Amino acid sequence: MNRDEVDEVLKFLKEMKYPNLDRTLDELKLIGEVAIVEKKLKIHLLMVSNDAFQKVKKEIEKELGDKFSDFQITKQISEAQKEAEKSPSLNYGSTQKPNNRAPYAKKIIAVTSGKGGVGKTTVSVNLSIALSQMGYKVGILDSDVYGPNVPRMTGTEDEKLVWSGDKIAPHQNFGIKIMSVGYTTPKKDTPLVWRGSVAVSAVIQFLEDVDWGELDFLVIDMPPGTGDIQLTMAQELPISAGVIVTTPQMVSLDDVSRAIMMFKDIKVNIGGIIENMSYFVEANGEKNYIFGKGGGEAISKKYDIPFIGEIPLQSEIRELSDNGKPPVALGDEKQKAIFKEIAEKLIHNDTL
């Protein structure tokens, strides 16, 4: 074994960036053994995520291919992967037989909407905290990679990724564990100009590379619409229930119909529909249905889905959310009751 060649390979590895993160393999302590035997390069990496490993492996082979005749690049195997290897492979799952990249979570709730701007993240955050207040161990994963708002609504928008060995430590606030792609950007206004495949890979890494611990519920704040991430989540996770957020407007309800049919097509049970911005309470106590009345409840009846709550249009709810003070934790008693009732209805219906 040529020591100079080994040192050269080590220098190359130490400068390699972990996929989608501004950290090197050396900084993350992911370099194991390096050896050269008769022009065959052997490298063992202390990585767990298979997707990230495949990208690193491909880059090594590309950059060092002219110097070595053969490669043997290996990685660590997680406990979940060891279990999976007892049966067929670690390939992507299907909606009929999904993988389970979150074996640490007893139940997985996917919160989505047909369109953006209807309050999906507000529901995700307050639902997570309400479940925690009921005594459950809860994590929230912000998978809305192009518009990650969970950090702001949980008061963690100034936080960055924290590593413990080769695992990411989730941030914690209001009794829940939190992970978002928003923690990875150098500035709050840094855009994530990612293709769908890269966004999907990032979400899978957060499922596998974060030290979530044991959870009763993992709540996933999904992107709006019916795209790659929704399909991937259905293929890679045994989702216990989907929750759909809408407003009473017809344009929102049209999009909700598509979200409902997506969940039905990919065989995900729908735990309930929540209508946000349902009404505005006037000074005299009367309810003003600014965006229409009863749209959410009507569509729940049309598709035979539980209707599990209405959230009023209140400036106080908006202000609390914008300032990282979730209403279910720091609002008045009426505001707290709204989200607690939604959580109660969700966990006590037949879906969960």
Residue 268's domain spans which residues? Answer: 105-347
For the segment 151-169, the average pLDDT, to the nearest whole number, is 91
Residues 321 and 182 in one domain: yes
For the segment 282-302, the average pLDDT, to the nearest whole number, is 91
No. of helices (H) and no. of strands (E), the chain: 12, 15
- When pLDDT is cut at 50, 70 and 90, the band that residue 92 belongs to is low
Taking alpha carbons only, the member of 49, 163, 176 closest to residue 109 is 176
Which H or E run contains 40?
A: strand 40-45
Strand order from edge to edge, sheet including 31-37: 31-37, 40-45, 70-75
pTM for this model (two decimals):
0.74
Contact 185, 192 (CB under 8 A): yes
Would you state the pLDDT for residue 214? 97
C-alpha neighbours within 13 Å on the C-beta side of residue 222: 27
CATH of the domain at 15: 3.30.300.130
Q: In this prediction, what percent of the chain has a pLDDT beyond 90?
A: 56
Q: Give the count of domains, the chain.
A: 2
Residues 206 and 303 in one domain: yes
Residue 352 within any structural domain of the chain: no
